[in-house]
Amino acid sequence: MKHFIYLVFLVVYIPSAFSQQADIPGTFKTKIQEYRTQTGKQILLLDKDVSKLRIPSSIESIEGLPEALVKDTDYSFFEFQGSYIIIYPSYLKTRFQASESETSAEKKKRLYPVQGIIKDNEFQSNIAGALFSIPQLELAASTDEKGKFELQVPEGTYLAYFSSMGKTSERRIIKVYGELSLSVELFESINELDLVTVSDRAIDANVMSTLPGAARMPMEDLKLLPPLLGEVDLVKGMLLLPGVTTVGEGASGFNVRGGGVDQNLILMDGSPVFNPSHMFGFFGIFNPDAVKDAQLFKGDVPAEFGGRLSSVFTISTRSGDKEEWNYAGGIGFLSSRLGLNGPIGERTQVFASGRAAYPNWILKRIPNIQLNNSKTNFQDANLRIDHRINDRNTLALSLYSSSDYFKFGTDTAYTWRSNLASLKWSNSWGENLGNEMILAYSGYDYSVVGEKFPSEFEMNSTITYFSIQQGLEWEGKKWEGIKAGYQINRYELGLGSLLPKNSDSAIKPVNLPREQGLEGAVFVEVPLKFSENLQGQAGLRYSRFVALGPGEVLVYESQIPQKTDRIVEILPFEEGEVIQSYGGLEPRLAMRYSISEEFSLKASLNRNLQYLHLLTNNFASAPVDLWKLSDRYIRPQEAWQYAIGLYRNFKMNTIETSLEMYYKDMPQIVEYRDGARLFLNPNLETDLIMGEGYAYGSELLIRKNGGRINGWVAYTFSRSLRRVNSAEDIQINRGEYFPANWDQPHDLTFVGSYKPVRRVSFNATFNYRTGRPITLPSGIYDIGGNLVIDYQERNQARIPDYHRLDLAMTYYFYQKKNSKYKSQLTLSVYNVYGRRNAFSWFFQPNPDSGIPKSYRLAVIGTIIPSITYNFSIQ
């Protein structure tokens, strides 16, 4: 502990001591802030120039600050787009004007396009909203969403500035005697410079975007969160947003606005992910090095997406660098990762990364019988190849593969594998029509291997998914932004097989027939612009699903419920024959009314249909749960969501607030009966039942962007209730509404990041949420000498509330400007005060004494420190 405190002291104190020389005087800082607040304009200048400016002790009007700063100095300024004031040495302009006057008589200068891209040095991501300026000409351009800028510049040699929030401004001499293409990487700034630079994001996106309930999680933000076991995780990052929850540590997936984990469509480069977790959620399947960006649509889902009721979570992987090879990785005690990316020729870039976890060597050393006999590991790999065929056509191939192995104790081992592939062709048809076509594949299979004599077995289940989707977007001035397209998905599901593991096994083979289905959809989406203030988008999606043969449909007596002793007929279906068909319109509408530049009101409604269902009656969703298509008896799940939100930014958009409210009506959902047997059940319809439900809630978010201290506070109040009242003997909770497994009314999250000096950051997250519903015993009795516990109706009680604090400190090792090696060390502490948050309560008679006992299972019941060393060579 003594060494740890010493280390903390060193990394906090020493860099601070050295960095003080770069501090900007307090009065200057105050005036800059005041100027920004009063005028909305941001002053941009180089760090080294601050000391040469005249910092006025008093000023008549704050609006005159730029003039006051350069008065009686060798500096000038110019204004760009009414938003930025760029201060620069006057000689740049005077010399230029002098040379200009000499040459102007000889010939008129030609204009050449100067285009370029501004990137973040650390994350290699493009910076939107960065500024490229040429003070001599008093010209400037800001970068677009892709970090690109373009400016017509007269021929000549200039000193160009490249600036962005939180980055050290760069100067570069550019010689414009033809078309010029630039690529600039900005280093992280020291200390206060973000006060005097521009924002690197669409600062009013919170207010001005038309989609309510859409959240973006850039990897830059994610890497600031305290990691568990040394790695940050995309899904865990999403869980910190309002409206996104999980039933507990160790559970796969996440719940959005009262929906089940299967109601989220997770797309990695267009391929659906059926299980987003490694090692039961301790790691996500998304290698943080390979992810470029992620976006969650939990309110209005754009019409191009469909097939799930609650949300769409899109993950874009990173492309290889176009200019040089980069290497990055991380080394931890339990897992490590390594990646490389770079160009192959002028038109092709490659990104490859791999990751592996290897905790077995430690498990062997723990004096615990169960753990000694346990094994677990996972591996995954990403490969992405981008190829530019010509100026109008590009191809992107994205591949992903992962496998997990988990064996707890001696008897049963679980393995699951995901394989994803997508090929995206982007091109332009003519000047105004953009086209994007994606061929996608997703394969998920798992097996459970039992090694207990004499019943050695292997159970398997598989999902195979193929899709083709095409989207067209009109980019002409009139009707700009209209999108239309189609999507065809083919599913093939192996509902389970049981095979003896060896010839001596007593297990009788069981092989349930496979399910097949086709899901097709067409969509159109139109941006609406009634005025500058009132805008939105309307979409319409029509989807249709057909369950296809071969197969057999059991026909039961007309009365419900279906029971195996009520089968009256078996209907056979040939290969490709339509067994059942469902479909419907899915309207989507989102509107935004901006009351002012910093205040808007948004509303949305949308309908979603879901034809693929995850069947689970466990405490929480597991990687080996069964997926099933709709069929003759299992109808599509359906939801209507209505949402409204208020969005208000303060202090020139540095503080964002939002309040969103939603109501989700689910007239059709899939529930299971008490005591259901879901795996290897050839008559699943006898254990499943259609129900209904509704969810509602409100989500408050207060977020501070930029500055030494940033982060957010999110509070969600939500309820999710369900009802099954189909027939007398298959009622649940006597036909009344009961809370869903993930119904956790109060959810409070705090995320904070403090960066006192350039090379050290401190991060903290705190989460509190109501304990999730459980079913408690109501009594106990003896049947034939065996104790049986009787339970209350479903989910009528709750386990204790959940709360947890995580802390992390990252030290960024010194990197020389010309050095290619960059590294950082992260110390993190998960569950700082070691709370034993209950994942579940369970009840059973003691095997030895027969006395009934109650137990609490805490998946992570203690404090977990970790250290990870991350590096990159670029």
Does the footprint of other proteins cover residue 569 (CB under 8 A)?
Answer: no
DSSP three-state, residue 866: strand
Determine if the peptide bond prior to 561 is cis (ω within 30°): yes
CB of 743 to other proteins, least distance (A): 13
Does the footprint of other proteins cover residue 572 (CB under 8 A)?
Answer: no
Kindly list the distances between the CA atom of residue 463 and the CA atoms of 418, 456, 493, 792, in Å, as whole numbers in the listed order: 10, 24, 5, 36
Does the footprint of other proteins cover residue 807 (CB under 8 A)?
Answer: no
State the amino acid at position 109 in one-letter form. K
Does the footprint of other proteins cover residue 779 (CB under 8 A)?
Answer: yes
Does the footprint of other proteins cover residue 845 (CB under 8 A)?
Answer: yes
One of 839, 868, 872, 874 touching other proteins (CB under 8 A) = 839
Closer CB to other proteins, residue 247 or residue 463? 247
One of 453, 479, 814, 821 touching other proteins (CB under 8 A) = 453
Q: Which structure tokens are listed for 855?
A: 């137990």
β-strands 84-89, 42-44: how paired?
parallel
Does the footprint of other proteins cover residue 510 (CB under 8 A)?
Answer: yes
DSSP three-state, residue 3: helix
Does the footprint of other proteins cover residue 455 (CB under 8 A)?
Answer: yes
Does the footprint of other proteins cover residue 788 (CB under 8 A)?
Answer: yes
Does the footprint of other proteins cover residue 622 (CB under 8 A)?
Answer: yes
Cross-strand pairs, 789: 780
State the amino acid at position 622 in one-letter form. A
Q: Within positions 327 to 386, which residues make up the interface with other proteins, using CB under 8 A?
A: 333-334, 359, 362-363, 365-369, 371-373
Only one of the segments 43-51, 114-122, 502-510, 516-524 lies at the binding site for other proteins (rule: CB under 8 A); that segment is 502-510
Instruction: Check: CB of residue 805 under 8 Å from CB of residue 779.
Output: no
Neighbours of 718 (CB within 10 A): 24
CB of 853 to other proteins, least distance (A): 6
β-strands 84-89, 277-278: how paired?
unpaired
Closest by CA position to 281, among listed 254, 258, 257 = 254
CA distance 533 to 538: 16
Residues 6+ apart with CB under 8 A from 715: 242, 699, 700, 746, 747, 748, 749
One of 728, 817, 818, 833 touching other proteins (CB under 8 A) = 728
Closer CB to other proteins, residue 733 or residue 874? 733
CA distance 301 to 606: 7
Q: Within positions 119 to 178, which residues make up the interface with other proteins, using CB under 8 A?
A: none
Does the footprint of other proteins cover residue 557 (CB under 8 A)?
Answer: no
Only one of the segments 48-56, 283-291, 582-590, 791-799 lies at the binding site for other proteins (rule: CB under 8 A); that segment is 791-799
Q: Which structure tokens are listed for 850?
A: 């027969």
- HSE value, Cβ hemisphere, 13 Å, CA-based, for 106: 7
Q: Which helix (H) or strand (E) holds 769?
A: strand 760-769
Does the footprint of other proteins cover residue 307 (CB under 8 A)?
Answer: no
Only one of the segments 95-103, 487-495, 814-822, 860-868 lies at the binding site for other proteins (rule: CB under 8 A); that segment is 860-868
Pattern 238-257, binding to other proteins, x per CB under 8 A?
------------xxx-----
CA distance 618 to 599: 44
Pattern 661-700, binding to other proteins, x per CB under 8 A?
-------------xxx------------------------
Does the footprint of other proteins cover residue 658 (CB under 8 A)?
Answer: no
One of 91, 618, 727, 814 touching other proteins (CB under 8 A) = 618
Q: Within positions 208 to 237, which residues make up the interface with other proteins, using CB under 8 A?
A: 229
Closer CB to other proteins, residue 147 or residue 359? 359
One of 313, 405, 457, 582 touching other proteins (CB under 8 A) = 457
Does the footprint of other proteins cover residue 860 (CB under 8 A)?
Answer: yes
CA distance 349 to 341: 7
Closer CB to other proteins, residue 533 or residue 854? 854
CA distance 227 to 284: 12
Does the footprint of other proteins cover residue 794 (CB under 8 A)?
Answer: yes
DSSP three-state, residue 71: coil
Does the footprint of other proteins cover residue 617 (CB under 8 A)?
Answer: yes
Q: Which helix (H) or strand (E) holds 291?
A: strand 291-297
